[in-house]
Amino acid sequence: MAQQQTGSRKRKAPAVEAGAESSPSQGLAAADGEGPLLLKRQRRPATCRSMVHYLKVREVGGWGPAGLQGFDGEMRGYAVQRLPELLTERQLDLGTLNKVFASQWLNSRQVVCGTKCNTLFVVDVQSGHITRIPLLRDREARLAQDQQGCGIHAIELNPSKTLLATGGENPNSLAIYQLPTLDPLCLGDRHGHKDWIFAVAWLSDTVAVSGSRDGTVALWRMDPDKFDDTVAWHSEVGLPVYAHIRPKDVEAIPRAIINPSNRKVRALACGAKNQELGAVSLDGYFHLWKAQSTLSRLLSIRLPYFRDNVCLTYCDDMSVYAVGSHSHVSFLDLRQGQQNIRPLCSREGGTGVRSLSFYRHIITVGTGQGSLLFYDIRAQKFLEERASATLESSSGPSGRKLRLACGRGWLNHNDFWVNYFGGMEVFPNALYTHCYNWPEMKLFVAGGPLPAGLHGNYAGLWS
């Protein structure tokens, strides 16, 4: 029995997983007017500061593109602060899959995910149906057999959402799929990384950068038109055929004086306006690269909190990078040449910041303790719970930090669980990934237990 084996908890403490992050939001669709309707433009109603009113206006298409422009901008800023406290959770059943490390919205009801057990799948958040996507195999398939146990740590869509980048069957290789069909396009398995890919970022619709545990970043260029002749389905055996490509440039992270052997690239984020690429390495440094036809390193900065730097995001509106670490989020405004925004402390028992995303001036923090926190970078404070639950209430904040606690998910009651955790029934899930669907005000969150030896998963739709 589990209760009879609690003495074995004196064994060596288990390792902790380092999760992945990604989180761009979906585009905002506009309503179109036709013919005579343009001549009978309706008068814009008085501004109503009601979230329910705002959502209903969005649902029916509002007052057309011109009428919505001012109102929508005003209300979106209001909504981004009020939405978190309105969200409620519906857990999704992922069966026995192990730890979701990466996720992205494909459309209004489908999310693509990658797991530690090296499974790429699409989940329908309405029906719960799961569709597994075949992984792309190296030309030298034997190389992939030596890389079991890593999983898929990164999934990113290009700006036009026509291509998806992630890991292959061999986690050292970069796989590219076409959207919306998810047909394979190409696989970067030639002269690329020698260790697991931990991060991917798109610089444009056809240029992506990958970061690896081998301490390198690689620049890849994809031209779907050139691959048309190689991407097809074999008529006899039904196997996908795809191109095998090599990177245009590979650059190594500089070795630090302190901890020089731990320069693994853990996260990437792109500042598209300046064609810049931010990278975080596990030796506690932030690196900035100029990304054009090749990669040119501009600077390297020692981070103020350098333990477990595993996630990175970029705010286009404020030109600020945010780095998640063991217990803090550090902000880098490189226009000022210094860190002029004070770091925030997650105060979640030192379990680490596991996922980050920006929307306007609000940063969402997924922690290792199964909770979501929300920080206003302009006010430099966490969002707080409202004293009253009434949407129309004008009462101020309660003084309590707004914290959304995620559900239990599923945990495999294996020998590791019994021996090291004494059969503990409730175990918090690390939130390794989250992504917003802002047009429909939905948030997908996923992860799994933090210790490396535990097998389990969590996924939830907050809406």
pLDDT single digits (tens) 252-289: 988 766 666 678 999 999 986 778 899 999 988 999 99
Query: pLDDT category, 308, cuts 50, 70, 90?
Result: confident
Highest mean pLDDT out of 38-42, 80-84, 224-228: 80-84
> How high is the pLDDT of residue 10?
42
What confidence tens digit (pLDDT) does each residue in 11-30 have? 444 555 654 433 333 333 33
> How high is the pLDDT of residue 99?
96
Give CA 224 to chain center in angstroms. Answer: 25
Token output for 268 = 């990437």
Q: Examine the pLDDT at 135 and tell me if it is beyond 70.
A: yes
Give CA 310 to chain center in angstroms. Answer: 12
Token output for 54 = 């705002």
> How high is the pLDDT of residue 391?
58
Quick one: average pLDDT of 325-345? 77
Cis ω on the peptide bond leading into residue 180 (within 30° of 0)? yes
Q: Which residue has the higher pLDDT, 23 or 412?
A: 412
- How many CB atoms sit inside 10 A of residue 286's CB? 23
- Among 83-87, 129-133, 292-296, 339-343, the minimum mean pLDDT is found in 339-343
Q: Please check whether residue 433 is in contact with residue 365, taking contact to mean a CB–CB distance below 8 angstroms.
A: no
Those residues whose C-beta lies under 8 Å from the C-beta of residue 120, and which sit 6 or more positions away, are 112, 113, 114, 132, 133, 135, 152, 155, 166
Q: What span, in angstroms and rounded, lies between the C-alpha atoms of 425 and 430?
A: 16
What share of the chain in percent tops pLDDT 70?
71
Those residues whose C-beta lies under 8 Å from the C-beta of residue 182, and which sit 6 or more positions away, are 112, 122, 133, 164
> How high is the pLDDT of residue 213?
92
Inter-residue long-range contacts of 194-197, CB under 8 Å, 24+ positions, other chains counted: 195/264, 196/147, 196/150, 196/153, 196/167, 196/171, 196/172, 197/153, 197/154, 197/167, 197/171, 197/172, 197/173
Q: Please check whether residue 252 is in contact with residue 287, taking contact to mean a CB–CB distance below 8 angstroms.
A: no
Q: Examine the pLDDT at 231 and tell me if it is beyond 60.
A: no
Quick one: average pLDDT of 176-185? 94
* Mean pLDDT, the chain, integer: 78
What confidence tens digit (pLDDT) does each residue in 446-456 have? 999 988 888 99
Quick one: average pLDDT of 334-359? 75
> How high is the pLDDT of residue 414?
84
Domain 91-140+150-386+398-462 in CATH 2.130.10.10: yes
Q: How many CA atoms lie within 13 A of 179 on its CB side?
A: 22
> How high is the pLDDT of residue 207?
93
> How high is the pLDDT of residue 5?
41
Q: What span, in angstroms and rounded, lies between the C-alpha atoms of 432 and 99?
A: 8
- Is residue 426 exposed (0-12), middle (13-18) or buried (19+ Cβ within 10 Å)? exposed
What confidence tens digit (pLDDT) does each residue in 89-133 have? 999 999 999 999 999 999 999 999 999 999 999 999 999 999 999
Query: pLDDT category, 417, cuts 50, 70, 90?
Result: confident
Q: Examine the pLDDT at 423 and tell me if it is beyond 70.
A: no
- Residue that is written with structure tokens 């970022």 in the block: 201
Those residues whose C-beta lies under 8 Å from the C-beta of residue 13, and which sit 6 or more positions away, are none
Q: Taking the model in full, what pTM does it have?
A: 0.80
Token output for 459 = 């996924």
Nearest Cα to 202, choosing from 299, 281, 118, 291?
Answer: 291
> How high is the pLDDT of residue 266?
93
Q: Examine the pLDDT at 157 and tell me if it is beyond 90.
A: yes
Query: pLDDT category, 72, cuts 50, 70, 90?
Result: low
Q: Examine the pLDDT at 424 and tell me if it is beyond 70.
A: yes
Quick one: average pLDDT of 343-370? 84
What share of the chain in percent tops pLDDT 90?
41
Measured CA angle at 43 (ends 41, 44), to 5 deg: 115
> How high is the pLDDT of residue 421?
81
> How high is the pLDDT of residue 86?
83
Quick one: average pLDDT of 389-406? 70
> How high is the pLDDT of residue 398?
63
> How high is the pLDDT of residue 286?
92
Would you state the torsion angle of the CA atoms of residues 392, 394, 398, 399, taken in this order, to the nearest 10 degrees? 130
Query: pLDDT category, 248, cuts 50, 70, 90?
Result: very high
Query: pLDDT category, 419, cuts 50, 70, 90?
Result: confident
Query: pLDDT category, 60, cuts 50, 70, 90?
Result: very low
